[in-house]
Amino acid sequence: MANINSLDLNLLKALDALIETRSVTQAASRLGLSQPAVSGALARLRDVFGDPLFVRAQRGLLPTPRALEIAEPLRKMLTEVQALVQPHAFVPSEAQVTFRIAATDYAQTAIVLPLLNVLERQAPGIRLSVIPVDNRFAESLAEGRLDIALVTPEMSPDTLRTRKLFDENYVCVLRKGHPNADDLDLEAFCALNHAIMSHDGTQFRGATDTALDRMGYSRRVVATLPSFLVVINLVRVSDTIALIPSRLTYGSDDIVVREPPLSIEGFSKIAAWHERMHQDQAHAWLRARLSEAAYVPAQ
């Protein structure tokens, strides 16, 4: 009885080449080995299978019935092994995949919505499952519950792979017809009612207030809301002013956008993923599409 422990993939490849070429010389050339090495492999194969496998004939080697019996299942097995070690080609237009993405409400608007437009054109079979970012997103990436998180560099641990998508800056937004729409100096800015975004709805101070403190100024925050989009809607229907990321104003012609009368530090947005997904073809394709979706031509 053949002992499977005596077999290895190279021996089976040698047997396949010998069956195909019926020549030690040609099999050696195909495998990139010397003739003595192939002859040695044949000796081991005969021992494993308990059969001569080939006999010498006038024109090369003549396979025995046992060798012919092995030929088809051997070729099928080697083809399957080759497919196993060679990644399946990812064809976006044919893909049926669901990706799980964690994103803030800002990233959902600034990145995920443009990404969905890209997917609709290039890969209509791909679905996105989008959830809010929480403080356990890195663990979720490691455990396979998430594929990508759209976060800031400060949020991402060093254990994750990352790709910078863009830098963002803040702008002031006011309703159309606001009395300060064309006269927004620092004094006017501080005198207005302000709304800010706070994920948990509890923070009435932010980076703007810190900057104002250094300048000896202050402002009055009348509302803290958990979504930039709600902040913008409040601005549309009141005299409240707000500082929001500039990308959220693109295409909005019913609000007035102005540069802040003081310097406010912006932020960067990145995609973060776990090492285990780095070589996955579908995942790599999606990461490239994220960069494509995040690109905005000069306004």
The rounded distance, in Å, linking the Cα atoms of 38 and 255 is 78
Residue 86 has pLDDT above 90, yes or no: no
Q: Average pLDDT for residues 95-112, to the nearest whole number?
A: 94
Helix 113-122 / helix 281-294 crossing angle, nearest 10 deg: 120
Mean of pLDDT over the chain: 90
Sign of the CA dihedral with 59 first, then 63, 68, and 72 last? negative
Whether the pLDDT of residue 218 is over 50: the answer is: yes
**pLDDT at residue 68, rounded to an integer:** 92
pLDDT digits (tens, 9 = 90+) for 112-142: 999 999 999 999 999 999 999 999 999 999 9
As to burial, measured by CB atoms within 10 angstroms (0-12 exposed, 13-18 middle, 19+ buried), residue 133 is buried
**209 torsion bin: left (phi>0), alpha (psi -120 to 50), beta (else):** alpha
pLDDT in tens, 48-73: 888 999 998 888 899 999 999 999 99
> Using 50, 70 and 90 to split pLDDT, how confident is the model at 299?
very low
- Report how far apart, in Å, the C-alpha atoms of 210 and of each of 113, 231, 244, 260 are: 32, 20, 16, 15
Map residue 256 onto helix, strand or coil.
strand
Task: Calculate the alpha carbon distances from 208 to 214, 235, 242 in Å.
Answer: 10, 18, 11
Least confident stretch, 1-10, 47-56, 71-80 = 1-10
* Closest to 50 in 3D by CA, of 86, 17, 7: 7
Average pLDDT over residues 83-88: 71
The Cα–Cα gap between 80 and 76 comes to 6
| pLDDT, tens only, 140-166 | 999 899 999 999 999 999 999 999 999
- In the DSSP assignment, the letter for residue 156 is S
Q: Once rounded to an integer, what is the mean pLDDT over residues 185-211?
A: 90
